A and B are shown apart, each in its own frame.
Chain A
Amino acid sequence: MVSMDMFHELFESLNALQNAPTYHLLFEAGLIAWLMWLLFRPSYNPHDRERLTRREEQELIDEWTPEPLVPATPQDSRALHPRIVSGKVGKYIQIGERNCLNLGTNNYLGMIENPEIEKSALECLSHYGVGSCGPRGFYGTTEVHLDLEDKLAEYMKCEEAVVYSYGFSTIASAIPAYAKRSDVIFVDEMVNFAIQKGLDASRSQINYFKHNDMEDLERLLMEQADLDRKNPKKAKRTRRFLVAEGIYMNTGLMAPLPKLLELREKYKLRFFLDEAISFGTIGKTGHGLTEHFNIDPSEIDMISGSLENSIGSIGGFCVGSHFIIEHQRLSGLGYCFSASAPPLLMAAAITALDIMQRDPSIFQTLRDNSTFIHSQLSSQLPSDLRVHGHPESVIKHIRLANPSGDKVADEQLLNEIVDKCEEAGLALTTAAYLSDREVNLPEPSIRVTVNALLSKNEIEFAVKTLKNCAESVFKIQL
């Protein structure tokens, strides 16, 4: 019945439409059109008024003055006037006219001047030329690279090794190969700059613990564990890493490996250890921290090292299980996207490794020298200076006992001592840092590096010279 009614009404109104006068129809059509316009007109957009005209845009472009590309550089900066060394940078170095005993470079085992290494580098050069002309993936892997990787893995008692062409890029590439944005990294606050860059590149959350302070680390770990309990779903995806150095470049101290490993196990962390300094210097036969503490290397997920210090070549490496290391061959940026290292430098590294294996007594000499110089420095230095570092460490930092708080002034003071030493025939250097880039800028220091070639007399000479120069500088100061 309802439908009948509706049909009827429709018929009626159509009828009325037919009978209506034309002006009426036109008027209604107009009304409908107006309604439509109101409904569908473009909505009012307040941003329209903000849209700039072409002229206004051009004005903005004209008005904008960018900062200069770089700020002006003070011309007296030490970096602009580096010491020029002639000849090999060996046990003694020639700076200008002066021949100085060298306690400033990282030539711990004296490999730089080793004739055997030189011979193998030259042999390799005559076979391969200098450059490798390609990344490892694209015909840049030579037999020499493979040999070195095998030898390093064997030496470090690990399944696999991967070699990089630059020491700095080794750990800086290795960390971001594993740690990603959603991960957490626990790291010592005094780690070296290369590690800091690796952490930056990973974009993970970084938790710094106080230098070598295991309680502080545990406190942070417990905080994280609390967070994990609150959000177990997220915790299931968050990888946790622990990063430390064997011997810290910036302090000369040794990492408390057993305690770190204990925490690693307790909190299920993946542990990366950078042995740039400790590899080839610490341990009875130079195998690094694991040997020193008598720990199985497989307890550490990845160990990285440098070929630029004790080995006396250029490059770096990471060792660990096949499961871990293989990943870097596809994901280590500095490995995949860089040309491989020149074969002759790899050949030099192989020979250096051979020498280290053949004659482990060199490590005893090095250790003796390190402890001797440490005791000498501790007892002989004027009271204004203090030596920092582990007695067995090849790196010692000599800092002001009472820093003034002005790092620039303190560094200048130390540089004066360094310059005086150079005049007296001893090459030393203050540790160079980019002060505005370091996460935790170390106090200025003179970085003394020890090598195995030094005789007792030479060490005594060095300490005496340093003492005399320091005293004379401090006297002027007073």
Chain B
Amino acid sequence: MALDKTEYSMSAAEKMSNGAVGRNKNGVRVDRLDGHVHQNGSVKKEKRRPFIESFEKIPLLTAATTFIGFHLILLMGYITSIIFTPKVAREKNRKGYVPLYDRFESFYSRYVYRRLRDCWNIPICSCPGSEVTLKDRVTHDCGWTFEYTGTRSTALNLGSYNYLGFAQAEGSCSEDSAVKIKELGCATASPRIEFGTQKIHQELEALTAKFVGMEDAITFGMGFATNALNLPSIVSKGCLVVSDEKNHASLILGLRLSGATIDVFKHNNMESLRQVLHSAVIKGQPRSHRPWKKILIVVEGVYSMEGSIVRLPEILELKRQYKAYLYVDEAHSIGAIGRNGRGVVDYFGVDPKEVDILMGTYTKSFGSAGGYIAGSKAFIDHMRVNSHANCYATSMSSSCAQQIISSMKIIMGMDGTNEGKKRINQLARNSRYFRRRLNQMGIITIGNNDSPVVPMMVYMHSKIASVVRRLKTNNIAVVGVGFPATPLMEGRIRFCLSAAHTKEQLDNALVHVEEAADFLGLRYSRKRRSKEPVHYSDSESEVE
């Protein structure tokens, strides 16, 4: 299954004809996606870095061992569950009821996930900055229960989404937030539409609209809910949604709640998207063959598990061709990519107004919480009246709103310094340097070279845990992702880079990653590696 997918990325790369394909070897694509003609007719001719996205194929032997390994774990689980009485929490007082959980589901969480449970949900006791303090815990019964040892350890934080390093307990942003808590309180206990609208919410919306380059914006207290509770107000029955297969759970939930028909296209594959759109417009709705009311393309800016960047210029072209609307979820791209940190539109030098709906969250780059939707004034007016969250959910906390306003102003340079620009450049440098170094080690990383999310492929279930544990003992905190969050054979370690990381910190991490790669055999890549040392300053020259 996983093999097919990686094969697809190879063949898709070969098939693709849009954009000038520069090099095409081992699944690597080098395209030049140019900023295109603006509405006023002027062409932005900027010299653009190549768009390099790589999905290297899993080596056949690794695929086989991963597959066998996974089933071995399942088999061991079954044996364990038979031989030893499981210490499972049982339901009391519910005899004769239909079992609450699927058998496989509970088996999987008890006998597969439980053995690796120590790799997730590690509590922290500090601000998730470039370093984070972990609360130590031990398990004496193979992951059934944990016990806190009372000690703490500090680790380099490569796990949090702190792209621009605004997760800070001190500094101007949190000071401003403190002032607002004193002035406005923590919460309003009322939805926006009743008594939950304070001046700060309006200020935040105006600033966000300005930042993303749209006419207006509306904000919500939770990023997940921004997708889940607003998509139903945009599409409905009789509409078609064309959604990327790797879209986030919140988008999928929102679309499911909307009642619209959902068609999926292959991840970031423009030929697949074109085919779906083409047949949708021509064939209309299934059975009745009525034309669709409208077609909405839903994509993300940066995909958090794949580290890929959406092919926005090509999608815009298709959108025009087929008269579809476009919804871009910038949860991981706003602030994190683009010359000015303004997300994918900035990255490709596209006019933001060409995209119909820009959605994003404040959790990641701004070190706060919540989400926004930006678009034309008419669209946002519709959302203010019809959004579920605007009508029923509590408004955003003033402290969160102020944190966003302060950090956004820094990013925009409105604080009169070049602090924001510095952070953006630092993040871009860190991302490229780190990925390059990993590639040079012969480790397979997937996704785009410019993305701050760097997934390192380890494939095997047990290796996910081994890497996380090993790096943790070396005081590096990383995130491992495996089935069911990813396809069965695509277990990976995800590094999230931050502007707060220094070169020294990254070098230190790389030393330990290399050790782990040797110890666990992670040098899967069969690409030719360059022997030339990767300089941090190389990335620097690319930024400017």
Contact = CB atoms under 8 A, between A and B. Distances in A.
Interface in B159-184: 159-162, 166-170, 173-174, 177-178, 181-184
Contact of B185 (A80, A113, A172): A113
Q: How large is the interface on B (under 10, 10 to 19, 20 to 34, 35 or more residues)?
A: 35 or more
B323 A344 contact: no
B33 interface: no
A40 to B, nearest CB: 31
Given A66-B292, A169-B222, A342 B187 contact: no
A72 B385 CA distance: 11
Interface string B325-361: 1000000000000000000000000000000110001
B9 interface: no
A193 B232 CA distance: 13
B282 interface: yes
A165 B113 contact: no
A313 B181 CA distance: 12
A61 B282 contact: yes
Given A197-B229, A314-B397, A80 B384 contact: yes
A106 interface: yes
Nearest to A66: B294
B228 interface: yes
A64 interface: yes
Interface stretch (B52-60, B364-372, B426-434, B438-446): B364-372
Interface in A95-148: 102, 104-107, 112-113, 117-118, 121-122, 125-134, 136-143, 145-146
Contacts of A122: 178, 181-182
A112 to B, nearest CB: 5
Interface stretch (B24-32, B196-204, B510-518): B196-204
Interface string A321-350: 111101101100110111101101100100
Contact of B222 (A89, A193, A327, A338): A338
A163 B145 CA distance: 19
B400 interface: yes
A64 B394 CA distance: 40
Interface stretch (A282-290, A375-383, A385-393, A428-436): A428-436
B489 interface: no
Nearest to A117: B186
A47 to B, nearest CB: 13
Interface in A148-187: 165-169, 172, 178
A276 B368 CA distance: 25
A342 B123 CA distance: 14
A89 B384 contact: no
B194 A142 contact: no
A118 B185 CA distance: 7
B362 interface: yes
A82 B201 CA distance: 11
Nearest to B101: A327
Contacts of A200: 256-257
A128 B187 contact: no
Contacts of A348: 186-187
A73 B177 CA distance: 34
Contacts of B187: 89, 112, 308, 312-314, 345, 348
Nearest to A307: B187
B92 interface: yes
B519 interface: no
Contacts of A113: 185
Contact of B169 (A129, A140, A178): A129
A240 interface: yes
A93 interface: yes
A129 B168 contact: yes
A79 B174 contact: no
Given A126-B169, A130-B174, A427-B195, A139 B124 contact: yes
A270 interface: yes
A259 interface: no
Contact of B195 (A75, A268, A429): A429
A2 interface: no
Interface string A234-266: 011111100000000000000000000000000
A48 interface: no
Nearest to A336: B249
B128 A432 contact: no
A236 B103 CA distance: 14
A73 B378 contact: yes
B421 to A, nearest CB: 22
B323 to A, nearest CB: 5
Nearest to A137: B120
B40 to A, nearest CB: 22
B195 A105 contact: yes
A329 B166 CA distance: 27
Interface string B266-278: 0000000000001
A20 interface: no
Name the residue in B101, B123, B257 with the highest tally of chain A Cβ atoms < 10 Å from its Cβ. Answer: B123
Interface in A60-93: 60-61, 64-73, 75, 77-80, 82-90, 93
A433 B392 CA distance: 8
Contacts of A437: 232, 388
A112 B185 contact: yes
Contacts of B177: 125, 130
Contact of A134 (B161, B282, B357, B397): B161
B208 interface: no
A79 B167 contact: no
A336 B174 CA distance: 26
B117 to A, nearest CB: 10
B323 A105 contact: no
B224 A338 contact: yes
Contacts of A132: 128, 363, 369
A105 B384 CA distance: 19
A309 B189 contact: yes
Given A89-B190, A169-B225, A197-B257, A83 B397 contact: no
B412 interface: no
A111 B122 CA distance: 31
A298 interface: yes
Given A121-B181, A143-B135, A308-B394, A57 B278 contact: yes
A105 B127 CA distance: 32
Contacts of A138: 120, 159-160, 479
Interface string B50-93: 00000000000000000000000000000000000000011111
A194 interface: yes
Nearest to A268: B97
Contact of B234 (A60, A70, A235, A238): A70
Contacts of B162: 133
Contacts of B223: 338-339
A308 B189 CA distance: 5
Contact of A88 (B90, B135, B184): B184
23 contacts: A71-B382, A73-B382, A83-B195, A84-B197, A89-B195, A113-B185, A125-B174, A126-B169, A128-B127, A129-B367, A131-B167, A131-B368, A133-B363, A139-B128, A166-B224, A169-B222, A201-B256, A237-B98, A312-B186, A312-B189, A327-B101, A337-B224, A434-B391
Given A87-B184, A314-B397, 16 more contacts: A105-B190, A117-B186, A122-B178, A126-B169, A126-B170, A130-B174, A133-B364, A139-B124, A141-B122, A143-B135, A298-B92, A333-B249, A337-B224, A338-B224, A341-B369, A342-B400
The 4 lowest CB-CB distance pairs between A and B, nearest first, are: A338-B224, A166-B222, A70-B382, A339-B363
